[in-house]
């Protein structure tokens, strides 16, 4: 048991990054049998960002991380721990966090990846970061990054049009001055921290086969034959089942986190869900009886960026003035596994 006194812990800074290359629906129409109207009707997506040819997962993670640190008024030397949530690692071994720790020039702090959680990865990692930051006063960098354009099958029109590349980051730690010898004035927008009021998460492993990429693991090892068949990019997705489960789980998690915090939907300033597709977002809002103007969506511009979608949307919402001091903001996400979660923040 820690002998350190408890310190108020919050999100000290946020950052995000999207690559420059824009891939439009019209671009996809020149590569596979699809149209802008077909994609928009089913997903609400118009365009997405793809990494440049020489750009890798850690390249994107570094930019988002440095922006989150700058927002917190901190430097890499102030970090005590690093967590990376990704399903598209820099290499198979070691984890991407090791590359990021070195790239940032951080101290020799614990660094590890949280992989396989799909689109729920950021919320899971932030929840872990809060528990770590409370155990002993420490500042934890969380980065969610996905370079999905390298993972997907560019010939499968059912999945290739859905995804985009992006990275989002948060620094979690004690309030400014809470760490002995720490940097005064840390925290987004001039020293204020974002408070976590409640969080929930869950997993239902019965549905592992509904959204999966099997080749490359021990069940279906990578081989020349598998590569020739394109199985290493064979993302299996039962769209109807994913839709049903995503709406059910994100709605239930949202209600539970509000119940735990003693907050009503009407008290929320904004809901920032995982940006899977517009139909899922609309269904979740309807289930929660949430007014349309309280649902934040950027899926039209960025597509589904996996674990990076929630922090990317959160950063954009704040930059656009959709979040103000004192606002209650609900985050919710759902991903392969199935994993899901929700978190209530006060800015």
Q: What is the pLDDT of residues 119-141, one digit of tens each?
A: 999 999 999 999 999 988 899 99
How many Cα neighbours within 13 Å face the side chain of 319?
12
Low-confidence ranges of the chain (pLDDT < 50): 1-5, 178-186, 189-190
Q: Looking at residue 230, what is its pLDDT?
A: 67
In angstroms, the first-to-last Cα distance of the chain is 30
CB 293 within 8 A of CB 270: no
Q: Looking at residue 226, what is its pLDDT?
A: 63
Residue 4 lies in a domain: no
Q: Are residues 272 and 293 in the same domain?
A: yes
Q: Are residues 143 and 265 in the same domain?
A: no
Q: Are residues 205 and 179 in the same domain?
A: no
Q: Are residues 30 and 173 in the same domain?
A: yes
SS3 247: helix
Residue with tokens 């999207």: 18
Query: The whole model's pTM is what?
Result: 0.91
Q: Looking at residue 215, what is its pLDDT?
A: 66
Q: Are residues 182 and 73 in the same domain?
A: yes
Q: Are residues 230 and 288 in the same domain?
A: yes
Q: Are residues 168 and 239 in the same domain?
A: no
Q: Are residues 173 and 267 in the same domain?
A: no
Backbone angles phi, psi at 69, to 5 degrees: -65, -40
304 is catalytic: yes
Dihedral sign, Cα of residue 152, residue 155, residue 159, residue 160: positive
Backbone angles phi, psi at 2, to 5 degrees: -70, 140
Residue 2 lies in a domain: no
Q: Looking at residue 5, what is its pLDDT?
A: 43
CB 316 within 8 A of CB 302: no
Q: Looking at residue 227, what is its pLDDT?
A: 65
pLDDT in tens, 99-112: 999 999 999 999 99
Q: Are residues 100 and 83 in the same domain?
A: yes
Q: Which of 25, 277, 298, 304 is catalytic?
A: 304
The CATH number for 164's domain is 3.40.47.10
Q: Are residues 180 and 303 in the same domain?
A: no
Q: Are residues 142 and 272 in the same domain?
A: no
Residue 322 lies in a domain: yes
Counting Cβ atoms within 10 Å, is residue 237 exposed (0-12), middle (13-18) or buried (19+)? middle
Residue 1 lies in a domain: no
Residue 38 lies in a domain: yes
Domain that holds residue 308: 197-346
Q: Quote the number of domains for the chain.
A: 2
Q: Which of 25, 160, 274, 298 is catalytic?
A: 274
Residue 65 lies in a domain: yes
Query: ω into residue 241 within 30 of 0, thus cis?
Result: no
Q: Which of 25, 119, 277, 339 is catalytic?
A: 119
Residue 28 lies in a domain: yes
Q: Are residues 114 and 206 in the same domain?
A: no
Domain boundary among 164, 189, 214: 189
Counting Cβ atoms within 10 Å, is residue 32 exposed (0-12), middle (13-18) or buried (19+)? middle
Domain boundary among 146, 161, 189: 189
160 is catalytic: no
């Amino acid at each position: 048991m820690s002998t350190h006194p408890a310190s108020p812990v919050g999100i000290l800074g946020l950052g995000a990054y999207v690559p420059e290359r824009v891939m439009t629906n019209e671009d996809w129409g020149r590569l596979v049998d699809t149209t802008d109207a077909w994609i928009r009707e089913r997903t609400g997506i118009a365009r997405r960002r793809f990494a440049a040819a020489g750009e890798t997962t850690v390249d994107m993670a570094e930019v988002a991380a440095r922006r989150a640190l700058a927002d917190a008024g901190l430097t890499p030397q102030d970090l005590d721990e690093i967590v990376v949530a990704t399903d598209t690692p820099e290499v198979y071994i070691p984890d991407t966090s090791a590359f990021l720790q070195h790239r940032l020039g951080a101290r020799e702090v614990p660094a590890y990846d949280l992989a396989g959680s799909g689109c729920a990865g950021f919320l899971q990692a932030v929840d872990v970061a809060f528990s770590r930051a409370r155990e002993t006063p420490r500042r934890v960098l969380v980065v969610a990054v996905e370079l999905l354009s390298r993972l997907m099958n560019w010939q499968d029109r059912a999945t290739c049009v859905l995804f985009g590349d992006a990275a989002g980051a948060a620094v979690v730690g004690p309030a400014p001055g809470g760490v002995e010898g720490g940097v005064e004035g840390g925290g987004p927008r001039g020293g204020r921290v974002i408070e976590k009021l409640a969080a929930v998460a869950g997993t239902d492993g019965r549905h592992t086969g509904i959204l999966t990429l099997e080749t490359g693991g021990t069940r279906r090892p990578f081989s020349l034959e598998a590569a020739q068949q394109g199985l290493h990019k064979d993302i299996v997705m039962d769209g109807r089942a994913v839709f049903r489960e995503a709406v059910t789980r994100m709605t239930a998690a949202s209600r539970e986190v509000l119940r735990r915090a003693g907050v009503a939907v009407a008290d929320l300033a904004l809901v920032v869900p995982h940006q899977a597709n517009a139909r899922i977002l609309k269904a979740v809002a309807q289930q929660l009886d949430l007014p349309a103007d309280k649902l934040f969506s950027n899926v039209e511009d960025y597509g589904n960026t996996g674990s990076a979608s929630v922090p990317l949307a959160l950063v954009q919402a704040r930059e656009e003035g959709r979040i103000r001091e004192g606002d209650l903001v609900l985050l919710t996400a759902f991903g392969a596994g199935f994993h899901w979660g929700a978190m209530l923040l006060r800015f």
